[in-house]
Amino acid sequence: MKAAVYYETGGPEVFRYEDVPDPTLGPSDILIKVEAVSIEGGDTLNRLQGDMNRVPHIVGYQCAGTVLEVGSDATGYLVGERVVTVGVDGSHAELRTASAPFTWKIPEGVSTNDAACVPVPFGTADDCLFEFGHLVRGETALVHAGAGGVGIAAIQLAKRAGARVFATASSDEKLERLRELGLDEGINYVTNDFVAESRRLTDGRGVDVIVDSVGGVTLQGSLDSLAYQGRCVSVGDAGRSAAERVDISKMRGNNQTLSGYFLGAELFLSPRSHALIAAHLDAIARGELRVIIDRVFPLADAEEAHAYIESRQSFGRVLLAP
């Protein structure tokens, strides 16, 4: 099969488009023909400096396609069905194996491209807002990187839950486009201090729940933006700056909470996560939630696709098509 691989971590230029051996189907696995790869933020970070399980390495968490073969112990899936899968790596290729707990059937009415964008962003956004952030109707929510996959999912979910929704983005144009998804107040972090703006928009009170996928120095700003009993969930380091020591001295007196979150752990350890993501696929089929796709690149152009994401021009997901 063809795959976008690399032999060492680094910038997008490390990618090579090569023939590699087909994946081996285990008894509990499903083999799929990959038709759409959603490039996740973790994919670009892993390519930059992550672990390589093998050389050449095939990066990638999430992809969708058609079932080609089902292992002898795998149940619930049939050859020819459309599915979306999540895994530790291996999405940037023509073929992929995945186990049933990390595979979801694609409902009628949902395109394969849209389905490829659902599990990681929507599962992450839902858990950050509700399972860990405990967001309830009438509260405020601040979503960093609003124009990214988790951001777009979180804005919709928070609005649907009856929250007043804020988000940060790098341009007024992006923020304006987010309004049709449920954004109430946008903060351009290039031209404004998001901490000051968060306080101003809440009459000095601060924000109830913050989803921080940026990390670095932004995380301290998130903590400084919290309301009394506010909850901040740290879900990534999309800002690509080094981890910072944060000052939590004010959190205790304000009964505030900082949580870390990783969807992979929930998928491994919490049975509810599979049903949660299936419910989001169904909601998209009913038109209650939307997936936004910016561009689709050929798999052979993985270098260009990753560079485009890192340029911060994209609005929504960037896909690869084998």
What is the tens place of the pLDDT at every residue in 31-87? 999 999 999 988 998 999 888 989 999 999 999 999 999 999 998 999 999 999 999
Q: How far apart are CA 69 and CA 224, in angstroms?
A: 51
In the predicted model, what is the mean pLDDT of the chain?
95
Where does the pLDDT of residue 239 fall: very low under 50, low under 70, confident under 90, or very high at 90 and above? low
Per-residue pLDDT for 25 more than 70? Answer: yes
The domain locations on the chain are 2-117+291-321, 121-264
Q: Does domain 2-117+291-321 have CATH number 3.90.180.10?
A: yes
Residue 48, both tokens: 């930059």
3-state secondary structure of 314: coil
Q: Which long-range contacts (CB under 8 A, 24 or more apart) does 202-208 make?
A: 202/140, 202/227, 206/230, 207/140, 207/141, 207/142, 207/166, 208/135, 208/139, 208/140, 208/141, 208/163
Where does the pLDDT of residue 245 fall: very low under 50, low under 70, confident under 90, or very high at 90 and above? confident
In this predicted structure, what is the pLDDT of residue 241? Answer: 62
In this predicted structure, what is the pLDDT of residue 228? Answer: 98
Where does the pLDDT of residue 100 fall: very low under 50, low under 70, confident under 90, or very high at 90 and above? confident
In this predicted structure, what is the pLDDT of residue 240? Answer: 57
Per-residue pLDDT for 22 more than 90? Answer: yes
Per-residue pLDDT for 138 more than 70? Answer: yes
What would the pLDDT profile of 184-215 be if each residue is shown by its tens digit? Answer: 999 999 999 999 999 999 999 999 999 999 98
pTM across the whole model: 0.94
Quick one: what percent of the chain has pLDDT higher than 70?
A: 98
What would the pLDDT profile of 264-312 be if each residue is shown by its tens digit? Answer: 899 888 889 999 999 999 999 999 999 999 999 999 999 999 999 999 8
121-264: what fold? Answer: Rossmann fold (3.40.50)
> Taking Cα atoms as reference points, which of 218, 251, 212, 217 lies closest to residue 232?
212
- Helix and strand tally (H, E) in the chain? 10, 15
